[in-house]
Structure 1
Amino acid sequence: MRRLLSSTASFILIAGTALATDGVPSQEAAEGTFKAPPFSPYANRTIPERPLWGDTHLHTGLSLDAGAFGNTLLPDEAWRFAKGEQVISSTGQPVRLARPLDWMVLTDHTDLMGFAPDLQAGKPGVLADPKGREWYEGYSKGGAAAGETAFDLITNFSQGTLPELLLNSYSPGADAFAFTWEHIVDAAERHNEPGTFTAFIGFEWTSVPKGFNLHRNVMLRDGGVRAKQVVPPVTQAPFGDTNPDSLYDWLEMYEEKTGGRAVSFSHNGNLSNGWMFPIDKRYHGETVDQTYVERRARWEPHYEVTQIKGDGEAHPALSPEDAFADYENWDVGNLDLTELKTPEMLAGEYAREALKRGLMLEEKFGVNPYKFGMGGATDSHTSLTTAEEENFFSKSVSVEPSPNRIQHPFVKSALGEIPGHLLVASGYTAVWATENTRAAIFDAFKRRETYATTGPRIGLRFFGGWDFTENDLRTRMPAEIGYSKGVPMGGDMRPREGDGAPNFLIFALRDPIGANLDRLQIIKGWLDSDGELQEKVYDVAWSGDRVADEDGNVPSVGNTVDLETASWSNSIGTSELAVVWTDPDFNAAERAFYYVRALEIPTPRWVVYDKVRFGIELPEEAQLIHQERAYSSPIWYTPKD
């Protein structure tokens, strides 16, 4: 054996390969010596190899509303929970994720940063203000009184009527504000473990003028050294502004001052009453112009398409031919239900329509402001990033698991209410990053190589090109082919050669501990030759021996849900689906986008688990069964000039 090792070493030296100090050839030397591809197909790989699962939107007790509702868990508990540790919730319940996450962005609200813990503690500065004392007394009573207090506090925030004393004490320039930001930054630094778990520094910029949701979350690529050179922006006057332009100003300032990198992304356009994706007039009075489309395209490469406050992919009124568009839609009104929804508002709220509008604006301005990747998040205000139906700890502490939580409306006003059973146990973002670090994951967000799920960890690959074939499906390494012959989700189609139509390579795997897959669909949107926006949903792969009808529609997969036991059977559906699909309606002169929607077989919603565990009766109107899903980021086609 000793002789063999010696001979091997001599061969390597003769070949001119340098040895590392431990006698092993250095990586640089090995790559320089073996010019031909290595026998091992996994050697020297530089492509993303597995999806990294995370949440882009979570609040702790440091957030104004979360703390007012009774959340006492701070960033350390939130990070520990996301990493897979068991914690005790604010209501005293032990809770743990089925599987840890790979990364997370903690996004506490910036307005009145530091106020919530002081309210809970009854600090003298809070009690010195009459309104502060009123809120403290209501919070201290607990139960319904605490809930009413929280809603009153949030109403004053959204209406811009916060007491001046409290506003001055918890805004930029105040010690409490700076201390809280340092707390947030330091906690992320403590829990960031490159290669194992990525803890992003971030925040939520909470623009909600007159109850219209214009919120954005911000994620920094950087660590504490850069983050502490700034304090985050707020929306309350005179310290800030609800116009997204002011956030873009802050992002530019951050990068110029620190040399760092940042992105922002909006969420819940369904609660903006039409203002999230404008095409003409913007909420604050400006028009959609060249400056706007360029700034939004630069700073918002991502959209949170699904979360606790509803799914925002599509709406049946906008997509009447889509049999799966009516999924967890929240379409009653704005965030605090001070204004009801009207039909003409819907087009400015949903992701699919925004992607279509982006094509039209690109035709006009040469820049697409709505060219975003897809992601999901919880927006939980419990510090617990739970998107599992059987483990759903809900939106806030007041509706953590209990026999009566389903009776608590999300919001109630003189105009109506959003009942508690409409809350959604959603969702997560999967990122195709080369490694589990801040830099690699952030860069994947910038190139839009992400996808959303409503909670399940469905594996999804999506590539667009011009020459994929059926033979490309006969591999267990689809990514090698996808990257070499096309572009991944989030990308732009390579220039067209010849006169063929684009085709797409799609692979999907069910969640290993979840439900089987029903089908894969491609959603296409395009700007036709008459300047009209169009869309079409194609069933491209499905389980079993079902046969599509003459219009291409595939029958239902069936339903195995047992409502008495909150269970289902994987006796229908399939564990994986793969297809190469060519666009049969392609027109080379028309701008277009394509994205994948992967659907699971029917499973119980979280309300059914509550029914079984607590022995309660559910409202007749409560939806009990759904089909969870994944949404890929789009791939865009742009005609040659």
Structure 2
Amino acid sequence: MRIRALALTGVMALASGLSSCASGPGTPLESKGAASAVIEDSQCASGNRAYFGDTHLHTALSPDAGLAGTKLGLEEAYRFAKGETVTSNSGQKAALKRPLDFLVVADHAENLGLAQGLADSDPELLKSSLGQQLNEMLKAGQGREAFYLLVQKMAKGSEAKISNESFMQNVWKYNTEVAERFNDPGKFTALIGYEWTSQPGGGNLHRVVVFRDNKALVDQILPFSNFDSENVEDLWRFMNFYEEKTGGRVLAIPHNGNLSSGTMFLPRHQKTGEPIDADYARMRHRFEPLVEVTQAKGTGETHPMLSPEDEFAGFNIVDNSNLGGIKPTTPDMLPYEYTRAALRRGLQLEQQLGVNPFKFGLIGSTDSHSSLPSTAEDNWWGKSPALEPSPERWKDVLIKSSKDPSLDLTALQLGASGLAGVWASGNTRTALWDAMNRKEVFGTSGTRLTVRVYGGYDYTGDELKAADWAKRVCAKGVPMGGDLMAASEGQIPSLLIQARKDPDGANLDRIQVVKGWLDADGETQEQVFDVSWSDPGQRKPRADGKVPSVGSSVNEREATYTNTIGAPTLTGYWKDPAFDPTQKAFYYVRVLEIPTPTWLAYDRKNYNLYDEMPETAPYTSQERAYTSPIWYNPS
């Protein structure tokens, strides 16, 4: 795919000044001017519905994807997301069962368009010795080796820099032009975005940067990259600069933290290593309202070592190394890699600083690097071209460690995850972005089950019987992502929950509420409550309060299951049984489906690999959804 040359405009001067202006000495961290405006649709909008999409897709323009063999570009990505059939990177016909509602193409800002430029022997890229080396490797047919080399270089920051401003300007304008062309308000939304790819020492601190705005505003800047700064504080300064200069809006979504070497939710300044202060907390709270809780490279809700009492904590755990296989993961890193632990720590930090830096909503996305955002286990198009359907893909090493094979990231560790669910008043850039910004979102492991939650003090549970229950209860409560006011004497918070199965998927097992709170000693606690479950007449809670397993209808050998267990819908009315009005708390909902086959089970069946694939591979899982929390603050 060749990148069309686009004329440079007068905004080049503005873009070229971003590095110094965004991160230079004395840049104020407080948001000012247009950036302080609150622009969002009503949380009680009568037309709200759930829209499904992917906020984290890479195309051939991402340097790692392009070097690793991705041929499909922006147009194929949008066409595939809209439900059209495209020819995959491996030459197969590929299509989704159902189109997505929205998409964020989040190609890496660092060396954007590298593979295409090298294929054309672009003289600007060959000025770099690394560019020359990668070019020679590509000509020798060593694309995967070139990809591995670039990943290792990215851990060293600016050592990986090849592209320059002139080249970047053309590619970025091409990116925004295609997004504008495929954006179809009311039918399909193409949100403009990119990925900032900081990974010091291999620790994954990546963020997807998502704009609310159209091409006219976004073209006034160039994406801020790891080459400008590997420190997230400087990324926030850039975002603040963008908002002040253009009047636009922008947010960032941190990746799942399980490959971050214990740094994603570390309560220290990335730049100085000092404990975070209120200024840092305000900026993180402002610009990072969401976190990616699940994607192909692992689920980052919690870990069995962090939540030993949670019987469902071990879902899609990838914890052997950081990104690039540079450093093994150790137990002391885990508390700073997982979202539930971060949500708990946020309560402590709010007590100390007056603002919660980890007050985020939860979504899922794919992080696919093949231009094909797919999440169905029986129709998974993989994370990279080598992981497109084939009898060999289960053997693939996605990222090879240069230090130790035990630190490799392999196909057997990957999940067909995930999706972002957004409750919005319409399928437009503004409506979807505003809903993301207010955290009225949920993430799934790839299934399209829907879940809705409201919290308040005056619910009875009878509200769920009404056809328009959400509209009614919103007037006296808050949706997921919201804040409960301090309780008056005798008040106890309750949640109203409704979950519906994926119309083409599995029945539901149970609804759970995850509570975290700050106790009287200043320590954080957590507890998981079963709220509603299928077949309640037969499945009675045990003495420990936990509901027995739903069982399984999966035939792993045949890669089949039946909906003879579970329920198509579940509702729940839950009142906090141990509420203390003096203690900070959060509540989020987790919904589990009945067990179903994984993509590995389907591959084993489809390609007759019973004698080849390992018996210990995960052939069954329970897909799930996670909602954004509702917070309670006694002050």
TM over 0.5: yes
Provide the C-alpha distance between the structure 2 equivalents of 1:361 and 1:385, rounded to a whole number of angstroms. Answer: 36
Residues 258-301 of structure 1: CA deviation (Å, up to 9, x unaligned): 11000011012111111111224646523211111011011000
Task: Report the secondary structure of 1:463's partner residue.
Answer: strand
Alignment of 1:265 with 2:253, yes or no, is yes
Deviation at 1:214, TM superposition (A): 0.7
| Amino acid aligned to 1:264 | A
Deviation at 1:615, TM superposition (A): 1.6
Alignment of 1:216 with 2:207, yes or no, is yes
**Match of residue 476, structure 2, among 470, 479, 485:** 485
Deviation at 1:470, TM superposition (A): 3.0
Alignment of 1:432 with 2:423, yes or no, is yes
Alignment of 1:519 with 2:510, yes or no, is yes
Alignment of 1:225 with 2:208, yes or no, is no
Distance 1:513 1:246, change over 3 A: same
Provide the C-alpha distance between the structure 1 equivalents of 2:306 and 2:271, rounded to a whole number of angstroms. Answer: 22
* Alignment map for 1:54-453 (pairs within 5 Å): 54-126=53-125, 131-142=130-141, 145-160=142-157, 162=159, 167=162, 170-171=163-164, 173=165, 175-236=166-227, 240-280=228-268, 282=270, 284-413=272-401, 414-415=403-404, 416=406, 417-453=408-444
* Alignment map for 1:500-539 (pairs within 5 Å): 500-539=491-530
Task: Report the secondary structure of 1:455's partner residue.
Answer: coil
Alignment of 1:624 with 2:623, yes or no, is no
Deviation at 1:419, TM superposition (A): 2.3
| Amino acid aligned to 1:605 | T
Q: Do 2:157 and 2:226's aligned partners in 1 also have CA atoms closer than 8 Å?
A: no
Q: Do 1:48 and 1:432's aligned partners in 2 also have CA atoms closer than 8 Å?
A: no
Deviation at 1:61, TM superposition (A): 0.5
Residues 58-95 of structure 1: CA deviation (Å, up to 9, x unaligned): 01100110101111111111111111111111111110
The percent identity for this pair of structures is: 46
Q: Do 1:460 and 1:506's aligned partners in 2 also have CA atoms closer than 8 Å?
A: yes
Q: Do 2:231 and 2:270's aligned partners in 1 also have CA atoms closer than 8 Å?
A: no
Structure 1 stretch displaced more, 384-393 or 272-281: 272-281
Deviation at 1:126, TM superposition (A): 4.7
Provide the C-alpha distance between the structure 2 equivalents of 1:450 and 1:70, rounded to a whole number of angstroms. Answer: 33
Structure 1 stretch displaced more, 402-411 or 516-525: 402-411
Provide the C-alpha distance between the structure 2 equivalents of 1:88 and 1:122, rounded to a whole number of angstroms. Answer: 26
Deviation at 1:202, TM superposition (A): 0.4
Alignment of 1:635 with 2:630, yes or no, is yes
Aligned residue number for residue 603 of structure 2: 610
Distance 1:151 1:284, change over 3 A: farther
Provide the C-alpha distance between the structure 2 equivalents of 1:203 and 1:447, rounded to a whole number of angstroms. Answer: 21
Q: Report the TM-score, using the length of structure 2 for normalisation.
A: 0.90
Q: Do 2:292 and 2:365's aligned partners in 1 also have CA atoms closer than 8 Å?
A: yes
Q: Do 1:147 and 1:398's aligned partners in 2 also have CA atoms closer than 8 Å?
A: no
Provide the C-alpha distance between the structure 2 equivalents of 1:161 and 1:635, rounded to a whole number of angstroms. Answer: 40
Distance 1:161 1:467, change over 3 A: closer
Distance 1:161 1:588, change over 3 A: closer
Provide the C-alpha distance between the structure 2 equivalents of 1:612 and 1:508, rounded to a whole number of angstroms. Answer: 31
Provide the C-alpha distance between the structure 2 equivalents of 1:530 and 1:472, rounded to a whole number of angstroms. Answer: 37
Q: Which runs of 5+ in 2 are unaligned?
A: 1-43
Provide the C-alpha distance between the structure 2 equivalents of 1:103 and 1:625, rounded to a whole number of angstroms. Answer: 29
Q: Report how many aligned residue pairs link the two structures.
A: 585
Deviation at 1:494, TM superposition (A): 3.2
Provide the C-alpha distance between the structure 2 equivalents of 1:323 and 1:48, rounded to a whole number of angstroms. Answer: 37
Deviation at 1:475, TM superposition (A): 2.1
Task: Report the secondary structure of 1:57's partner residue.
Answer: strand
Residues 94-130 of structure 1: CA deviation (Å, up to 9, x unaligned): 1011111111111110011221212234445555655
Deviation at 1:390, TM superposition (A): 1.1
Provide the C-alpha distance between the structure 2 equivalents of 1:280 and 1:379, rounded to a whole number of angstroms. Answer: 27
Task: Report the secondary structure of 1:187's partner residue.
Answer: helix
Q: Do 2:157 and 2:198's aligned partners in 1 also have CA atoms closer than 8 Å?
A: no
Aligned residue number for residue 33 of structure 1: none
Aligned residue number for residue 583 of structure 1: 576
Provide the C-alpha distance between the structure 2 equivalents of 1:185 and 1:501, rounded to a whole number of angstroms. Answer: 48
Aligned residue number for residue 464 of structure 1: 455
Distance 1:160 1:446, change over 3 A: closer
Provide the C-alpha distance between the structure 1 equivalents of 2:469 and 2:272, rounded to a whole number of angstroms. Answer: 47
**Match of residue 563, structure 1, among 537, 556, 562:** 556
Structure 1 stretch displaced more, 433-442 or 152-161: 152-161
Residues 389-424 of structure 1: CA deviation (Å, up to 9, x unaligned): 111111111222111111112223223223211111
Deviation at 1:513, TM superposition (A): 0.7
Deviation at 1:136, TM superposition (A): 3.0
Deviation at 1:495, TM superposition (A): 3.9
Deviation at 1:156, TM superposition (A): 1.7
Deviation at 1:48, TM superposition (A): 4.2
| Amino acid aligned to 1:178 | Q
Task: Report the secondary structure of 1:353's partner residue.
Answer: helix
Task: Report the secondary structure of 1:254's partner residue.
Answer: helix
Provide the C-alpha distance between the structure 2 equivalents of 1:491 and 1:216, rounded to a whole number of angstroms. Answer: 23
Aligned residue number for residue 35 of structure 2: none
Q: Do 1:278 and 1:288's aligned partners in 2 also have CA atoms closer than 8 Å?
A: no
| Amino acid aligned to 1:138 | M
Q: Which runs of 5+ in 1 are unaligned?
A: 1-44
| Amino acid aligned to 1:492 | D
| Amino acid aligned to 1:345 | M
Q: Do 1:486 and 1:494's aligned partners in 2 also have CA atoms closer than 8 Å?
A: no
Q: Do 1:394 and 1:423's aligned partners in 2 also have CA atoms closer than 8 Å?
A: no
Residues 506-546 of structure 1: CA deviation (Å, up to 9, x unaligned): 01110111000000000000000000110000001000120
Residues 430-464 of structure 1: CA deviation (Å, up to 9, x unaligned): 11101111111111011100000011111111010
Deviation at 1:628, TM superposition (A): 0.1
Q: Do 2:252 and 2:290's aligned partners in 1 also have CA atoms closer than 8 Å?
A: yes
Query: Which gives a bigger RCO, structure 1 or 2 (Cα 8 Å, sep 6+)?
Result: 2
Provide the C-alpha distance between the structure 2 equivalents of 1:619 and 1:161, rounded to a whole number of angstroms. Answer: 41
Deviation at 1:567, TM superposition (A): 1.2
Please, what is the CA RMSD of the aligned residues? 1.6
Provide the C-alpha distance between the structure 1 equivalents of 2:330 and 2:47, rounded to a whole number of angstroms. Answer: 43
Deviation at 1:500, TM superposition (A): 2.5
Task: Report the secondary structure of 2:587's partner residue.
Answer: strand
Task: Report the secondary structure of 1:249's partner residue.
Answer: helix
